[in-house]
Homo-oligomer: A and B are copies of this chain.
Amino acid sequence: MKKNIGIIGYGNLGRGVALALQKTPDMALAAVFTRRDPASITPLGGALSLPLTEAPSWRDKIDVMILCGGSATDLPTQTVEYAAWFNVVDSFDTHARIPEHFTAVDTAAQASGHLALISAGWDPGMFSLNRLYANAILPEGSDYTFWGRGVSQGHSDAIRRIPGVRNAKQYTVPVESALEAVRAGKRPELNTRQKHTRECFVVLEPDADAAAVEQTIKTMPNYFADYDTTVHFISEEEFHANHGGMAHGGTVFRSGLTGSNAEHTHVIEYRLTLDSNPEFTGSVLTACARAVCRMAAAGRQGCLTLFDVPPAYLSPLSGEELRRTLL
């Protein structure tokens, strides 16, 4: 009997989850719940499209609800709200606010007797797991996280808010020489500018002042001022032809020392090269939904992160199969 999965929010991430569910032997998409007109959405695999307001009435028919809204305004309220009715999984990714989100979701899930898993995806998510494992193994050392090459939605949005800008895409690019130094075990001290550059592709309004826009971008506090930034002005046609992708990725390193005099260096590197950020993130959320089914069935309640999940629970294989084939 397949577990019934629900999705709240059917944007890129929701579709990524729906695609991942088509590859699972043990879970199926039952329904998508949306704030839009449900008739405007045709979920993959013949699942229902329903108004969000109907979600609570499905509380006995959905094993895990996967929340696919944004971290800025949707998830801080939605995950807490829906943990009252469902086991839930989200991809809340505002790192600085994870502790408060965890507490709020934990309180709601404990009160309703459900299980929640928050901040799944790749960062937070798989990158976090690799930071944790590597720190537990090598307590003496340095951590490095590089992102990209990939699109930063926040930075793209910031450029689009500049007067005279019609459209924009910003790529975060790791500095190759910094990556190589870390990979070689040199444990460099790197400031913000030394780790990433920012590359912007901008479509201007017809009467815009290109030099002024470029200056505004490059000096924007927090977003660009601390980075070496390149700005390319392109046509709307080129923008749509070449900058519609959702590729992303990055690399987490820990470079640690062992020995009686810290004479041995070890480098642990975890690298993701993703053609589709939302499809990969949706695949992680889907594996997490499987773990939540199992841990909830075993009586767990409250809020978890991937740090708390025995890895075997993410796989459809039995413990015996896993030991035989992957150990």
Chain B hits for A269, CB < 8 A: 269-273
Task: Give A7-27 interface residues, CB cut-off 8 Å to B.
Answer: 16, 19-20, 23-24
Task: Give A226-263 interface residues, CB cut-off 8 Å to B.
Answer: 258-260, 263
Does chain B have a CB within 8 A of A58?
A: no
Query: How far in angstroms is the closest Cβ of chain B from A238?
Result: 22
- Name the residue among A99, A137, A260, A279 with the largest chain B CB count within 10 angstroms: A137
Contact A307 B283 (CB under 8 A): no
Stretch from A170-178, A210-218, A310-318 forming part of the interface with B? A310-318
Interface size on A, residues (CB 8 A): 69
Does chain B have a CB within 8 A of A54?
A: no
In the complex where A267-B273, A279-B259 touch, is A309 in contact with B308 (Cβ < 8 A)?
A: no
The 8 Å CB contact of A258, one of B267, B270, B279, is B279
- Please give the count of copies of this chain that the complex contains: 2
Contact A138 B326 (CB under 8 A): no
Stretch from A66-74, A107-115, A128-136, A194-202 forming part of the interface with B? A128-136
Contact A275 B265 (CB under 8 A): yes
Contact A132 B315 (CB under 8 A): yes
Query: How far in angstroms is the closest Cβ of chain B from A275?
Result: 4
Name the residue on B nearest A322 (C-beta): B307
Name the residue on B nearest A123 (C-beta): B327
With the chains together, A326 CA to B99 CA distance in Å? Answer: 12
With the chains together, A312 CA to B314 CA distance in Å? Answer: 16
Contact B23 A139 (CB under 8 A): yes
Name the residue on B nearest A315 (C-beta): B136
Shortest 7 CB-CB distances between A and B: which pairs?
A264-B275, A136-B314, A258-B279, A307-B312, A264-B276, A269-B271, A267-B273
Known: A126-B137, A258-B283, A307-B310. 15 other contacts (CB 8 A): A95-B327, A99-B320, A102-B323, A132-B311, A132-B312, A133-B314, A138-B283, A139-B316, A266-B274, A269-B269, A269-B273, A271-B271, A307-B322, A307-B326, A307-B327
10 pairs, CB–CB < 8 Å, chain A vs chain B: A95-B327, A99-B324, A133-B314, A136-B287, A137-B280, A137-B314, A264-B274, A268-B272, A269-B269, A307-B312
Residues of A within 8 A of B (CB): 16, 19-20, 23-24, 44, 95, 98-99, 102, 119, 124, 126, 128-133, 135-140, 183, 185, 258-260, 263-276, 279-280, 282-284, 287, 290, 305-312, 314-316, 319-320, 322-324, 326-327
